[in-house]
Amino acid sequence: MSEENRGGFGGRGRGRGRGRGRGRGRGGGGGGREENSWNPVTKLGRLVKEGKIDSIEKIFLYSLPVKEAEIIDFFLKDKLKEEVMKIMPVQKQSSAGQRTRFKAFVALGDNDGHIGLGVKCASEVATAIRGAVTAAKLNVAPVRRGYW
């Protein structure tokens, strides 16, 4: 008994239904790009990637706002250590009961005078931690040490 003789919903994708073809789909495509390539969005990001700004101290010296976490990764990638300080559930009362989300506090630093604190709330713990790490990178500030 062949496919076309049977009833049902049209056999092997002959124009009906959504099928499993290479249609428009949801995101995911984009071709053969590598995942770790950083495309800067801000002017500061472009200057850092081109090598015109050679240290994070120059950014702090001129009080330039850092809006991309990749800038901090560029300078401090291998030295950064992060620690999840606290994860606490927070609840919102809704008509169907409570909606629980998780608030994550993350501190990160390089043990060489740079520290950042990030806070993020999300419906899943892992998402909250990832967002808090990104927020902490955007909040990195220099710490004055010693006697001055």
pLDDT of residue 29: 55
pLDDT of residue 147: 84
pLDDT of residue 5: 61
Q: What is the pTM of this model?
A: 0.73
Interaxial angle between packed helices 43-50 and 69-76, expressed in degrees from 0 to 180 and rounded to the nearest 10: 20
Rounded to an integer, what distance in angstroms lies between the CA atom of residue 58 and that of residue 66? 12
pLDDT of residue 148: 73
Rounded to an integer, what distance in angstroms lies between the CA atom of residue 38 and that of residue 48? 11
Which residues have C-beta within 8 Å of that of residue 40, sequence separation ≥ 6?
Answer: 46, 48, 49, 68, 70
The gap between the terminal CA atoms of the chain, to the nearest Å, is 90
pLDDT in tens, the chain (148 residues): 555 566 655 555 556 566 666 666 665 555 555 667 889 999 999 999 999 999 999 999 999 999 999 999 999 989 999 999 999 999 999 999 999 999 999 999 999 999 999 999 999 999 999 999 999 999 999 999 888 7
pLDDT of residue 19: 61
